[in-house]
Amino acid sequence: MRKTGIAFLLALSVAVLTPLSSLTVKLGSMFPEGTEWDNSLKRVAAEWEDITGGEVRMRIYSSGVADDEYDMVRKVRLGQLDACTLTSVGLKAIVPNTFVMSLPGMLKSQEELEIVIDQFAPKFESDFVREGFRVLVWSNNGWANFYAKNPATTPDLLRKEKLSVSKGDFELAESFKALDFNVIPISMNEVMVGLQSGMASAFLAPPITAATFQWFSVATHLIDFPVVPVIGGLVISERTWKRIPARYHASLKASIEGVAKDFGSNAARLNAESLKVMIQNGLIIEELSEEIKDEWYELLIQGHSLVVGEGKWIDIAVYEELIFALNEIR
């Protein structure tokens, strides 16, 4: 009886210390393994496991192992992934109206970008829930510029280049095509091959991306004009979120938000450092006059009509709401 009693107590202690059930959240990410961005996600994974006492773990598939953003969204819908980090490309695959925040030439300053992330982006969160997703955090990662093999400072000069656009980013590709740019759809993992082979001669990206993937070593001219803000987010399937005990939701979301805040504060530093390194390795900054900047803004804003309106990707009411909000700031 004594041995039986001891065995019972041991079994009871194991049951108390071991979670009754555990959930592994499979997260897809395009961030290269070992980068500061990837390490931040690993920090989230460690915090989630600590917060839940091991009930919720996170397995990260870095470097695009889970395919591009459209594929990651599809895999979340199918249950093959539970969550993923997305840029505006992936976010608009779920809720097309979010693309309004990333329309070329729409936003003009870092101040506007920060206000849009804090006050406008959350308006879309109920739309994501209706689509079976939940946005755990929005992120602000700086701005994307054009890079080209030649000093393509004006719209007419860039039209002579072969502009690489993400293969899944149909809206952006169609917008640039309608503005008479020579668009070449290429997946992110194939941009370098495209540049080296001559299939492409220009691309649109923030400094951190251009430096990380070494694309700047081929397209050596950066056009000093902020084309689009780099807005992103981390989303999880509503199905998976509901499987996580509600008592952990606030703490898990706070963990993600804390890392995203660091992400945002680090973005400017990392982009600046990336720019410095690229300049040291041959990147040429092509500065623009105010007249040429105005020419770019005028052209890009003309392109908005191609994606805004009835039967198009962005509802006119959403577009006008953002325009009104921006006019209040300016």
- Phi-psi map region of 102: left, alpha, beta (phi>0 left; psi -120 to 50 alpha): alpha
Contact 119, 325 (CB under 8 A): yes
Phi, psi of 152, deg, nearest 5? -85, 75
Spell out the residues 6+ positions from residue 159 whose beta carbon is closer than 8 angstroms to its own: 180, 181, 182
Q: What is the pLDDT along the chain (330 residues), one digit of tens a residue?
A: 444 444 434 433 443 444 446 899 999 998 778 877 788 899 999 999 999 999 999 999 987 665 688 899 999 999 999 999 998 889 999 999 999 999 999 998 889 998 999 999 999 999 999 999 999 999 888 899 999 999 999 999 999 999 999 877 777 888 898 899 999 999 888 999 999 999 999 999 999 889 989 999 999 999 999 999 989 999 999 999 999 999 999 999 999 998 887 777 777 888 999 999 999 999 999 999 999 999 999 999 988 888 899 988 899 999 999 999 999 888
Which CATH number does 19-329 carry?
A: 3.40.190.170
User: Phi and psi for 313 in degrees, rounded to 5?
Assistant: -75, -30
**In this structure, what token pair is assigned to residue 252?**
């898990």
Each domain of the chain, given as residue ranges in start order, spans 19-329
Burial class (CB in 10 A: 0-12, 13-18, 19+), 257: middle
**Beta pairing partners, 56:** 23
Cα distances from 197 to residues 46, 192, 193, 200, 201, in angstroms, run 41, 8, 6, 8, 9
Distance set, CA 88 to CA 12, 50, 170, 231 (Å)? 49, 31, 12, 6
pLDDT of residue 269: 86
Element (H, E) at 186: strand 182-186
Q: Which residues touch 74 (CB under 8 Å, ≥6 apart)?
A: none
Angle, alpha carbons 12-14-18 (nearest 5°): 125
> Do the strands 133-148 and 202-205 form a parallel or antiparallel pair, or are they unpaired?
antiparallel
Q: What is the pLDDT of residue 18?
A: 42
Sign of CA dihedral 197, 200, 202, 205: negative
Convert 128-139 to b/e letters by CB count within 10 Å (16 or more is b). beebebbbbbbb
pLDDT of residue 153: 97
Decide: 38 and 62 in contact? Cβ < 8 Å. yes
Contact (Cβ atoms closer than 8 angstroms) between residue 32 and residue 85: no
Alpha helices in 23-169 (DSSP H): 36-51, 69-78, 88-94, 110-115, 125-130, 155-158
